[in-house]
Amino acid sequence: MGQEPEPDNGEDKPHSDEAHSAFTPPFGVPLPPAPEDGQTTSEFARPVGIGEHAPEDQSTGSGFRPPRGGPSAAAGVAPPPPPATGPLSRSTPWQDRMRVMLRTPMTERPTPERSLSPTEETALPVPRVLDLTLRIGELLLAGGEGAEDVEAAMFAIAHAFGLDRCEPTVTFTLLTVTYQPSLVDDPVTLSRTVRRRGTDYNRLSAVYRLVDAIVDEAAAVSLEEAYRGLAEIRRNRHPYSKWALTLASGGLSGAAATLVGGGPLVFCAAAIGAMLGDRLAWLAAGRGLPEFYQFVAAAMAPAAVGVTLNLADIDAQSSAVITGGLFALIPGRALVAAVQDGLTGYYITASARLLEVLYLVVGIVVGVLIMLYVGVQLGAELSPDAALHRQERPVVSLLAAMLLTLAFAVLLQQERSTVIVVTLNGGVAWLIYAVIAHQANKSPVLATALAAGLVGLFGQLFSRYRFISALPYVTAAIGPLLPGSATYFGLLGFAQDELNAGARSLLTAAALALAIAIGVNLGGEMARLFMKRPGEKTAPARRGAKRTRGF
């Protein structure tokens, strides 16, 4: 007798043990409806009943836009006002707001308030906005701006045009920006490589003004207007010609030679040597030689002038002449940017910048050592003691420091409106250094760090009032503090086979350079931490980077 089959109740019976899955509903519980075609089953799918965007009465809002009224506003109840102070308040400068967002992980960033409807957001020209972001970031990075400031500007531009969920990334020569509308949409990533870098702080200031106009909601700059402004910035000519830069290089070297004890003859000799070196560097650049060989050629000329004066028995301090020529070549701007990137956590970019500084310094060393070795072989009596005799002439030294800063500002192609301010800043820096190092007989490294910190503090303050980068107010002002004499003494020691003395002098030069970079960065951080924006009563809070404890 066979067993009668059980009646079919419309329920599927399992045919094997494999069907008894933890995800299979128990018998008697109906199965859920099958998903329609194109419907996602991801864990990132938005649950049923939840709208596409944040509710209108969301109280958190964005750190960049004031909250909009929701149902409470429709009922006649005013929404809560935005906070007056805070790291993301509207009164905080956009640079600080963007730094807060960049230093906050993506999952912890405040939810941005949507100012666009879903249709408008879908119609956003995402590739064009990202392209504009990369082009502006390229100009900033090529102009010597720090990696964190470049990322902050790129994030501000993308956010201003409605792309809130973007992630900019900056390295030494590569810029990348990624935008992902949601967790279930494909990201859009664009990148751009910086092929050429040049120093033009006039263009850098113009780019910052363009970014400030884009971020300002009252200005309402469209995408086409931003592109036209960017094209106009690229077409602008440099404020100073090549011959003006050559004269500025001579004035910088002459003023530096005066700072280390030189007289009028030393001033003229150092200026002539620096101008010859500048013309040789332009010639090498015109022939397509790498920057390393340009620095070799530029360093040989002032060293040759100093050696020639010594061989001709002319009553001039040849060591001071060579020292003055080195001041125009030391890559202080690149060193400050490298240390700043390292202190803010951009270690790859900082390492690349330091490697660039190392190559440029090696080029200077090669050029100077060639001429010093030739001079020693010809019987030149080069002694470091000849330049160590410092005369007590504070007024002359102060004027020379201000002239050096003025010439440095011209070499950096700064705006004419900033030259006077940065010249005064350089004079104050030298005055602080001279009082601590010469009058109080304290460590030159300590004096350099304190003077550089004051430069960074003043530079950040000036940039807050002008709403531009702090570099035009900082870089030229550190010119009188650069370790030109210590670098020369180290090279001279190696040329005379005095390796220990040369190594000590080069280590002193490295310590002075690091003191300058750290002092400038610390002064800027102190300004952003304690100083308020013009018109405010208190300084806004500011979030810092997460501490990693080294692991």
Judge contact between 130 and 190, C-beta under 8 A.
yes
Please tell me the predicted confidence (pLDDT) of residue 24.
55
In what side-by-side order are the strands of the sheet with 188-193? 166-170, 174-179, 188-193
pLDDT in tens, 57-91: 433 334 344 333 333 333 333 444 444 444 455 55
Burial, 548: exposed, middle or buried (Cβ in 10 Å; 0-12, 13-18, 19+)?
exposed
Most confident of 82-86, 216-220, 239-243: 239-243
> What is the tens place of the pLDDT at every residue in 13-33?
444 444 444 455 556 656 555
Sorted by sequence, the CB contacts under 8 Å of residue 136 that are 6+ apart come out as 153, 154, 157, 207, 210, 211, 230
**CA 33 to each of CA 12, 36, 50, 247: distance values in angstroms, whole numbers, following the listed order:** 15, 9, 20, 82
Average pLDDT over residues 217-224: 81
Q: Is the dihedral of CA 155, 161, 165, 169 positive or negative?
A: negative
pTM for the model: 0.72
d(CA 485, CA 487) in angstroms, rounded, equals 5
> If residue 359 lies in a helix (H) or strand (E), which one and from where to where?
helix 347-377
DSSP letter assigned to residue 199: -
DSSP string, 266-322: HHHHHHHHHHHHHHHHHHHHHTT--HHHHHHHHHHHHHHHHHHHHHTT-SS-HHHHH
Three-class secondary structure of residue 189 per DSSP: strand
pLDDT at 275 (0 to 100): 92
Q: Enter the tokens of residue 377.
A: 């072989």
* Highest-scoring range by mean pLDDT, 10-24, 120-134, 441-455: 441-455
